[in-house]
Amino acid sequence: MNNELEMKFVINGEGHSAFKELLPKIANLLGEEGNIDVDYQRKQLTNQYFDTEDFFFSKHKFGFRVRGCNGEFEQTLKTQGLTVGGLHQRGEYNVPIEGAQPDLTLFDTVSWPDNERSDALNSRLVERFATNFQRDQYQLTIGDDVLEVVFDKGEVITDNDSMPIDEVEIELKHGDVKRVFQLARILNQHLSLRLSDTTKAAMGYTLMGEARWTRKPLPEYLPLQAHCTTEDAFCAAVACAVSHWQHHEQVYMATNGLKYLDQVNEGLYLLMQSVSLYLPVLQCGPLLNLHKRLISYSRKWLWLTELHNIRFLRAKRGPFSHYLNEHDSLMSYLQGRKMGLLQGRSPEALFFDSEANEIKILTSEIIYFKPWRAEAHGAEKPVLEHAKGWLSQGWQNAMQSLAQPEPLTQTHYIATENILRQALTHGFLLAELFSDQRGEFRAPWLDILIGVEELKALITLKKLLTDAEFDEDTELKSWTADKLKSLLHVIERTRGVAIQLEAYW
């Protein structure tokens, strides 16, 4: 078995031609005085992907294919492995075969899940989908390091559908993994790219309907073992956040569903809060750099708040739908505002932003090398030793703003939203370490956060009604004022319950 380590980008535009122009400069960009040996090949690859009728390989996160090139065939089994950002680490079994028919019994060293046997699985194999693409392959030899850069352009094909392939992969064949990150940064600076964690096999299963382009909600709490180290807890938090970000980025690109942009923002926010929470213990230069970059990049998404509020007001099944959807002129105006935001602030451009890629590259690099080990102490201690203090500090900040004896205004709630959201996010990251009472404690505070989101949407509506004129202007303003008043009353009652609860830690 080979251990595959690679990084993959989706290309926007003419990536291969840009790379060819860049190739003579690669040595200087890498800081190498001598030349880099380059071996180039162009191949036309046909790949048939196989699985059982009950999708054994898909369920266990395996990919199994037979690849043909110039009359020669090879079968490959890829295991689940680990992916963070865009760095894929997984086991790979490769066996040459005589023809296009697979033979799992040739994988004599594979231990199959569920006590399955190669011969039994082999008898149940069926062809599922295919990938056909042109591969421009560059093998770069840099001293003792050998990397492969491949540009794949073609399509994934099922019986009823297809999806384009246009990507570049960097794979370490031999040597220092630092070269992968160096080369990834060079490509990011000179090509229009998006770091991706979606494999060709995953694209095929999605086309088949075995997997879907859909929202994947976060778990109720981040899964943690009771005695896991601070380092392990941080790595789990980051992996969860980046996966959530990248999945919904990919789904949006495939569907243009605006609801997925909120999930992209949620993943980005979770990553930033994960870094903020653990930074005091894991403090090191790369993590400080990541934190600064996250703050900078997240500012590019601030416009999403207004888009979210407009979508909230226009939602056919939202809390205000029964009344607002009857006002056609308002709905039309909100639609125009929504389209104006999207045209002025392209989500696709933000996905291909070099800063977004640098955040993902840097995150992958940090998780791989764990630089805090050389600069900080405490990473090996159980995270539980830090968790109670972190949670107490966050909730002390929230309670200072929210545990007031007098009624709070809508302005106060909106001003306090970030403090409350941060405390609840830290709870998501750590609550798995504590008792079931965590749910009872968090529920009313989560309800308050939902209420604040509704307040913000109504305040957006109130402002729009001031800026524009509608036939039902007076009626709409009166309805908005009444809704704000009643919603604030509900939030206040929920706050009265929440501030009486004892913390679960």
396-419 pLDDT, tens digit per residue, is 999 999 999 999 999 999 999 999
Helices 328-344 and 437-467, packing angle to 10 deg: 100
Contacts 24+ apart (CB under 8 A), 301-305: 301/264, 301/265, 301/268, 301/350, 303/341, 303/344, 303/345, 304/261, 304/262, 304/265, 305/456
Q: How far apart are CA 65 and CA 340, in angstroms?
A: 45
Boundary-marking domain end, from 331, 354, 382: 382
Angle, in degrees to the nearest 10, between helices 410-430 and 230-255: 120
The pLDDT tens digits for 161-203 are 899 999 999 999 999 999 999 999 999 999 999 999 888 998 9
The Cα–Cα gap between 213 and 354 comes to 25
**Does residue 265 sit in the same domain as residue 152?**
no
> Cα separation of 160 and 157, whole Å?
8
| Same domain assignment for residues 126 and 96 | yes
Q: Say yes or no to pLDDT of 234 above 70.
A: yes
pLDDT in tens, 276-297: 999 999 999 999 999 999 999 9
pLDDT at 321 over 90: no
Q: 68 and 12 in one domain?
A: yes
Query: What total of structural domains would you count in the chain?
Result: 3
**For tokens 């939030």, what's the residue?**
491
Q: Which of 145, 175, 208 is the last residue of a domain?
A: 208
Pairwise CA distance, residues 364 & 7, whole Å = 10
Q: Assess whether 391 and 466 both reside in one domain.
A: yes
| Angle CA 237–240–246, to nearest 5 | 135
Which is more confidently placed, 357 or 328? 357
Residue 348 confidence (pLDDT):
94
Of 382, 406, 437, the residue at which a domain comes to its end is: 382
Q: Are residues 29 and 146 in the same domain?
A: yes
Looking at the structure, do residues 247 and 132 belong to the same domain, yes or no? Answer: no
In a domain, 332, yes or no: no
Six token digits for residue 146? 């050998």
Looking at the domain assignment, is residue 293 inside a domain?
yes
Its pTM surpasses 0.85? yes
Q: Rounded CA gap, 245 and 260, in Å? A: 10
Provide CB contacts within 8 A for 22, sequence distance 6+. Answer: 29, 186, 190, 191
pLDDT of residue 33: 67
Q: What is the mean pLDDT of residues 120-137?
A: 95
Mean pLDDT across the stretch 473-478? Answer: 89
Alpha-carbon span 417 to 312, nearest angstrom: 18
* 252-286 core/surface letters (b: 16 or more CB in 10 A; e: else): bbeeeebebbbbbbbbbbbbbbbbebbbebbebeb
Cβ–Cβ contacts within 10 Å for residue 392, how many? Answer: 12
Does residue 161 lie within any of the structural domains? yes
Residue 36's domain comprises 2-208
Residue 7 CB-half CA count within 13 A: 31
- Domain assignment present for 318: no
129 with 195, same domain? yes
Mean pLDDT computed over every residue of the chain: 93
pLDDT, residue 82, reads 77
Examine the domain organization and report whether 279 and 296 are in the same domain.
Answer: yes
Q: Are residues 178 and 229 in the same domain?
A: no
Read off the tokens for 130. Answer: 């295919």
Q: CA 338 from chain center: how many Å?
A: 24
Mean pLDDT, residues 357-381 taken together = 94
Looking at the domain assignment, is residue 316 inside a domain? no
Residues in the chain: 505
- Start-to-end CA span in the chain (Å): 45
Separation of alpha carbons 357 and 366, rounded Å: 14
> What is the domain-level CATH number for residue 292?
1.20.120
Are residue 32 and residue 52 in the same domain, yes or no? yes
CATH code of 157's domain: 2.40.320.10
DSSP letter at 223 equals -
Average pLDDT over residues 464-470: 83
Quote the Cα angle for 103-160-130, to 5°: 30
Q: CA 325, CA 330: separation in Å to the nearest integer?
A: 8
CA distance 337 to 464: 10
Structure confidence at residue 260 as a pLDDT band (50, 70, 90):
very high
Q: Is residue 489 part of a domain?
A: yes
Mean pLDDT of 320-328: 88
Distances (CA, A) of 234 to 79, 83, 226, 413: 24, 15, 14, 30
pLDDT at residue 390 tops 70: yes
CA dihedral 54, 58, 64, 65 (to 10 degrees): 90
**Type and span of the H or E element at 148:** strand 145-157
Query: Looking at residues 309-326, what average pLDDT do you find?
Result: 89
Give the 3-state secondary structure of 76-129: EEECCCEEECCEEEEEEEEEEECCCCCCHHHCCCCCCHHHCCHHHHHHCEEEEE
Comparing CA positions, the residue from 210, 203, 199 lying closest to residue 162 is: 203
For residues 142 and 116, what is the distance between their CA atoms, to the nearest angstrom? 43
**239, 267 in Cβ contact below 8 A?**
no
Return the amino acid letter for 459: I
Residue 169 lies in a domain: yes
Q: Are residues 103 and 195 in the same domain?
A: yes
DSSP category for residue 258 = T
| Same domain, residue pair 231 and 200 | no
Q: Is residue 312, in this structure, part of any structural domain at all?
A: no
| pLDDT value, residue 34 | 67
Judge contact between 1 and 184, C-beta under 8 A. Answer: no
